[in-house]
Structure 1
Amino acid sequence: MIAFPMSLFAQKFGVINTQELIQSLPEVKTIQEQMQAATKKYEDEFAKLQEEFNKKFQEFQALEASTPETIKERRTQELQEIDTKIQRFRETAQEDLQRQNQQLMAPVQEKVVKAIQTVGAEGNYTFIFENVMPLYSGSDVTDVTPLVKTALGIK
C-alpha cells in the first residue's frame, strides 16, 4: 500500500508549445514561401477562369432581344460549364495545396516528435503534454519547449 502512493511522487510532467516550436524552425519559413508560391499560381489560374466567365457573361448580356432562344440557351449552358469548371478547379486547388503542405510539413513534424521524445527520455518525463491553454500549472510541471528547441539547434 505504501509503494503505490510513492510511485505517484516519482512522476515527472512536462508541457510544450509545439506551434511555437514549429514556427521557430528555419525550414518552416521555406515551406511557407513554397506554399505561397503555389497558392499564387492557383490564384493566377483562377483569375483567368474568372475572366473567361466574366467575358462570356458580358457577351450573354449584350445579346439582343431578337436573338433566337436556342442561341441564348447555348450561351447559358456555356456559362454553367465555365462555372462548374471554376468550382472543380477551386476544390482541386484546395485539395492539392493541402496535400502539398502535409507532404512538406511531415518531415518537420517527425523531427519535432523525435526531439520531444529525446528530451522526454533524457529528462525522465512520465508525460509531456501540449501546452495549448494552461489554466493552472503547478510547480511540478516543466515547460520543455526550450529544451526541445535546444535539441533541435534553435535559439
Structure 2
Amino acid sequence: MKKIIVALVSLMLFAVPAMAEMKIAYVDLQKALNLSMAGVAAKNEIAAQVKKYEDEFKAKQDDLQKMKDELEKQAVLLSDSAKAQKEREFQQNIKELQRFQKDVKEELQQRDADATKKILNRLFEILQTLGKDGGYQMILEKNEGAVIYADKSVDLTDELIKAFDAAQ
C-alpha cells in the first residue's frame, strides 16, 4: 500500500509542473458557423432557397384547392366515371405535391450539410494553425460535452471567426 501511495505522490509531483505548462483552449464551433461571413452567407442562401420553394409549394397548394373546389361543384353534374377520374387526378396531384415537398426537404438538408461540412473543414484548418502558432497543446470543442467549465480567457471562438473571415 505504501508503494502505491509513494508512486502516486511521485507521479503527481512530476505531472503537476508538466500540466502547469500546458496551454489549453476551447472554441464554440456552432457559434463560429453561425457568425462567420461564410456561415451567414450560406444561411442566407438556404433561406432564399426555402422562400422560393415555399412560394412554389403555396402555388401548387392553391391549385389543388381550386381543383378540389371545382370537383365539389361539379360532383352532381358529372357521371360516376367522370367523377372517379377527376378524383384520381386530384389524388395524383396530392401525391405529387407530397413528393415535391419531400424532395425539397431532402435537397435543402443536403445543401445545408454540404455547406456546413465545407465551412467546418476550413475552420479545422484554421484551428490547426491557431493551435500551433498559439502554442496550445489542446483545443476542445465547447458544445460536445467535453468542456464543463472554462474561463472566457481561453475561448478562441472570436479569434477563430476573425481568422476564418480574413482567410475568405
- TM-score tier by shorter-chain length is 0.7 to 0.9
Matched, 1:90 2:130: no
| Matched positions, count | 153
Q: 1:42 to 1:149 in 2, by over 3 A?
A: closer
With the length of structure 1 as denominator, give the TM-score of the two structures: 0.79
Give 5+ residue unaligned stretches, structure 2: 1-6
Give the structure 2 partner of residue 63 of structure 1.
74
Q: State which of 10, 18, 22 in structure 1 corresponds to 2:29.
A: 18
CA distance in 2, matches of 1:27, 1:85: 35
The answer to which of 112-121 and 81-90 deviates more is 112-121
Pair member with larger Rg: 2
CA contact (8 A) 2:25 2:140 kept: yes
Runs of 4+ off more than 4 Å? 6-10
CA distance in 1, matches of 2:163, 2:75: 72
Letter aligned with residue 5 of structure 1: A
Residues 99-114 of structure 1: matches in 2 within 5 Å? 99-114=110-125
Q: Per the alignment, in what secondary structure is the counterpart of residue 62 of structure 1?
A: helix
Matched, 1:5 2:44: no
Matched, 1:146 2:146: no
Q: Per the alignment, in what secondary structure is the counterpart of residue 136 of structure 2?
A: coil
Q: Per the alignment, in what secondary structure is the counterpart of residue 103 of structure 2?
A: helix
RMSD: 2.7
1:43 is displaced (CA, Å) by 1.5
Q: 1:44 to 1:53 in 2, by over 3 A?
A: same
Q: 1:18 to 1:115 in 2, by over 3 A?
A: same
With the length of structure 2 as denominator, give the TM-score of the two structures: 0.74
Q: Per the alignment, in what secondary structure is the counterpart of residue 26 of structure 2?
A: strand
Q: 1:31 to 1:138 in 2, by over 3 A?
A: closer
Q: Per the alignment, in what secondary structure is the counterpart of residue 129 of structure 1?
A: strand
Give the structure 2 partner of residue 136 of structure 1.
149
CA contact (8 A) 2:24 2:138 kept: yes
Give 5+ residue unaligned stretches, structure 1: none
